[in-house]
Structure 1
Amino acid sequence: MNAIITSATEIPEAPYYVTCTDKFMSGWGRAEGRINRLILPCKSYEEACIVEDNINGRTDQKDVHVYTKKPQLKASGYLYQVMDRNNAKPWYTQGTWTLA
């Protein structure tokens, strides 16, 4: 799944969620005039830590958070995108991006 969503009901069930703001994709294209927020469901705390570490190793991502409940979506000003381990494997692979 790599889908743009408009409702929290579209977020798959998971024990953990990692979210971040994609600075590169915000403000243009499908996110024109909006902030692009990524939601990555994780099957374990360990997987959430791997995803969080990878996101922190990228300069185009910010505002990284790990949740144990589905993230709430704000009414406007945001474009939400769900990515999972099937279509975003590098995000879930340990050491894909490391802090410089």
Structure 2
Amino acid sequence: MVLPNFNKKQSDIKGYMDKWSYLFRHMEELDEMPKFLDNRVFDLIFDIGEVANLTETDMKLYESNLKNKRDAESVRLTAIKEGLCEGRERGLQEGMEKG
């Protein structure tokens, strides 16, 4: 199938191949995800397309926010890991003192 030849209307879309073809064929003109494509995979593809169309300034802001989010998640996971280790050590120490 050649995408320029894909001319099905939304009401004619049946399977995943039709959905993928429709999405690729109409991606530039879509402002929001059509309801019939409401699926986690298609949402992700649509999000990627939105990021790809950001201006240079917005892209820098997006990347900065993404870095901050990842840094915060890393700090959170490290704190959990260190807390678990400290809790185990304290528990072992108290167990040794009592036992």
TM-score (norm 2): 0.25
Structure ranking higher in helix proportion: 2
Structure ranking higher in strand proportion: 1
TM-score (norm 1): 0.25
